A = this chain, B = another copy of it.
Amino acid sequence: MDDQLDAIFSALADPTRRAILGRLAKGKATVAELADPFALSQPAISKHLKVLEQAGLIRSGREANSRPRVLEPAALKTIADWIADYTRFWDQSFDRLDDYLSKVQGYEND
């Protein structure tokens, strides 16, 4: 599980890979289509796709002699859940909830 977080976060740490995901958010695409926007060799793109696939962020299909990729959003959910544990830190809703409970239930926190 820790390994999965490692894989997902490090897959997302590269702008090329994030751009590929951005493209796939618009729908299935072939390797050639995914490579097109970049000044990178086809093997470089294949390598990026392998990283994304091993992280579970995309999946490969098969269609004639192409291997179209699709987004696999579950992996993103995995890290969104991880981040959610910290959500209470970036607004005061948690503290405000505490205050609210103190008042409503008539006790003080220590």
Contacts and interface: CB of A to CB of B under 8 A. Distances in A.
Contact of A90 (B6, B74, B89): B74
Interface residues of A, number: 26
A73 B85 contact: no
A102 interface: no
A21 B5 CA distance: 14
A62 to B, nearest CB: 22
A85 B12 CA distance: 14
Given A5-B12, A9-B13, 6 more contacts: A6-B13, A6-B15, A18-B82, A71-B86, A77-B90, A83-B83
30 contacts: A2-B18, A5-B12, A5-B15, A5-B18, A6-B13, A6-B14, A6-B15, A9-B9, A9-B10, A9-B12, A10-B10, A13-B13, A18-B82, A21-B86, A25-B85, A25-B86, A25-B89, A71-B89, A73-B86, A73-B90, A74-B90, A76-B83, A76-B89, A76-B90, A77-B90, A79-B83, A80-B80, A80-B83, A80-B87, A83-B83
